[in-house]
Structure 1
Amino acid sequence: MRSVFRDGEGRLRNGWKVLAFLLPTFFLTGLLLWSWTVLPEPVKPFLPHPFFGFLAVMLGTLVALRLERQPLASLGISVGVGPARHLGAGVLGGMVLVGLVALGGWMAGGYHLERSGNPQWVAVVKGAWLMLGVGLFEEALFHGYFFQRIIRGVGTVWAQVIVSLVFCLAHPFNTQMDVPTRIVAMLTTFLAGWMLGLCYLRTRHLALPVGVHMGWNWFLSVMGFGVSGNESRGWWTPVFHGRPEWLSGGAYGLEASIFSVAVLTLAIIGLTRWKGPAERDSQLPREDSSLASNV
């Protein structure tokens, strides 16, 4: 049984570490999200439910790291001037990326934007706060302990494939969407997971992927597009021109637009070529392409 649970150096295999992290984390997430539902209604806007999910992931992460005697900073989770800069750059980068997608759809005649009646600053600020929570929750879950232990087990490329697939499948896709639109939405979400993974790999910190995630989602909501199929109201409202849904994304949002595929592909190419401020290869977590020895 030693070979099943331990590697050649006597350490617990990374696959078991991931499982031991995910099981209590899912339990804690369900428990804390339920606790959010019993909060007084006036309090809920100030404590959106993604922050409760983020708290659950952090608790699961701290337990897993405690058993390994590793600090939280080893996962690229810390505060300071450097992380703040990465967060800000990520927010700006996410806005630019989704802005390019919107520009492509507009130039192709898929829609135009009209100013919303009586737009509210408060709603926009609340949207930013909500999307910060979403970014923290999803990046801590998908590109924190889970992602980084899979890297140690099967190597970076396979870890990217696995986590990007899980990231894609974790998002709901309306079965009423046209098949081509659903395919584009799933491909976009997979590519987004890959891009966010690269954001971590190039900085070895979660601040950049959190910022990109937040900036992308928030600017989508500001423009009035759906965010992964969820309706949003911002400063503008898109008026669609009856073109194919896969061109504009339709009710699902720009993430179902073919222009998202193009823009994210270019972003992935750019991040792949960019070395980033990450540590040198010799200082990175050990990667092994042998599934038999580490998983």
Structure 2
Amino acid sequence: MNKIFFNAQQQLRNGWWVMVFIAILAVSRQLYKPTRDWLASLGASTMQLEPLALVFLLLVSWSCVLLRRQRLADLGLALNSRWWQQLLFGTAAGMAMMAVIALLMWSFSAATFGINPKFQAADLILGAYLLLLGAALEELLFRGFVFQRLIDGLGVWPTQLLFAAIFAAGHMENPGLEGSAKLVAMLDLALASLLLGLAYLKTRSLALPLGLHFGWNWAQGYLLGFQVSGHEHNGWLLPQLQAQPDWLTGGNFGAEASIFAVFVDCLALWLLWRWRGVAEASTSPELMPNATKTATLPG
């Protein structure tokens, strides 16, 4: 009976830690709406309430970390200079990936671009605020405590494939997911999950995946003017989709539903796979195809 709950080191098994997380999350969900309503009654605006879901998820994750007698740094939230460097690098890389996708779409006559006359500079700041919160929430949920426990319990690739399926399925009800873009979008979302998971595994930090996620979405929505997973944003540019199939243009879901996004994600996955990673992450031979090379990514 003892082996059901504890491993050979007399530590609670990872599967039970996942159940602990789910239980605490379920309790927090009962507190979330009353807390939000109470803050709204005090005069908090919708924009001021945006971080609340992230705060609750952070508290749930922190509770589990404390129960394991660990620190937030063990969750991937060290917030030291290396962490911020990786966040900035990931943001720049995510933006660059989306820029390449847009360039390919333009080159293959899938889209043209003009300046959006309704754009205001404040939109960039508002977009950064909203999309950074959204990316942080999703990364903490999909690459945080549960992902990390299953990595330890099930192994790298079973967990990666499981979360890729969950991440893609979690977007199935998004607007704009229709026509030939639907299959491409699901494939690209799964690839994006694998990429973000690999970014965590190579660094044992949430900074790089968070930066990639945020930079990708912010550039897609507020610089290039595409929908982000089907949601409209007031971007600096105004893309005009040409008379091409949805799998080429991304349709109403956004550029991430274009076949060019699949190509860019595959290229990014290959490059990240080839990278050795930082010292703390270099513990699994299956993640180190070039173990003799030194890291070139910041941190």
Partner SS for 1:238: strand
Indicate if the aligned counterparts of 2:73 and 2:79 stay in contact, CA closer than 8 A: no
**What does residue 240 of structure 1 align with?**
241
Greater shift in the superposed pair: 195-204 or 20-29: 20-29
In the alignment, the residues of structure 2 paired with residue 111 and residue 198 of structure 1 have an alpha-carbon distance, to the nearest angstrom, of 31
| Shift, 1:172, TM fit | 3.3
Give the count of matched residue pairs: 282
Indicate if the aligned counterparts of 1:75 and 1:145 stay in contact, CA closer than 8 A: yes
**What does residue 28 of structure 1 align with?**
28
**What does residue 290 of structure 1 align with?**
none
Partner SS for 1:53: helix
Structure having greater relative contact order (Cα 8 Å, sep ≥ 6): 1
The CA RMSD measured in Å over matched residues stands at 2.2
Indicate if the aligned counterparts of 2:203 and 2:281 stay in contact, CA closer than 8 A: no
Greater shift in the superposed pair: 167-176 or 187-196: 167-176
- The share of aligned pairs that are identical, in percent, is 35
Q: TM-score, normalised by structure 2?
A: 0.87
In the alignment, the residues of structure 2 paired with residue 35 and residue 229 of structure 1 have an alpha-carbon distance, to the nearest angstrom, of 29
**What does residue 125 of structure 1 align with?**
125
**What does residue 13 of structure 2 align with?**
13
In the alignment, the residues of structure 1 paired with residue 147 and residue 254 of structure 2 have an alpha-carbon distance, to the nearest angstrom, of 27
Q: TM-score, normalised by structure 1?
A: 0.88
Q: What are the within-5 Å matches in structure 2 for residues 29-108 of structure 1?
A: 29=29, 31-32=31-32, 35-36=35-36, 39=40, 43-45=45-47, 47=48, 49=50, 51-108=51-108
Indicate if the aligned counterparts of 1:173 and 1:182 stay in contact, CA closer than 8 A: no
Indicate if the aligned counterparts of 1:250 and 1:256 stay in contact, CA closer than 8 A: yes
Greater shift in the superposed pair: 28-37 or 190-199: 28-37
| Shift, 1:190, TM fit | 0.6
Indicate if the aligned counterparts of 1:33 and 1:52 stay in contact, CA closer than 8 A: no
Instruction: After superposition, give the CA deviation of every residue in 1:17-76 in whole Å (9 maximum; x if it has no partner).
Output: 11211232254256436644663787322x352x22221221111111121111111122
Instruction: After superposition, give the CA deviation of every residue in 1:239-289 in whole Å (9 maximum; x if it has no partner).
Output: 1112101101011101111111110011001111101214264599xxxxx
| Shift, 1:118, TM fit | 3.7
In the alignment, the residues of structure 2 paired with residue 264 and residue 83 of structure 1 have an alpha-carbon distance, to the nearest angstrom, of 23
Q: Does 1:209 align with 2:209?
A: yes
Greater shift in the superposed pair: 25-34 or 82-91: 25-34
Structure 2: which 5+ residue stretches go unaligned?
Answer: 286-299
In the alignment, the residues of structure 2 paired with residue 176 and residue 234 of structure 1 have an alpha-carbon distance, to the nearest angstrom, of 18
Partner SS for 1:192: helix
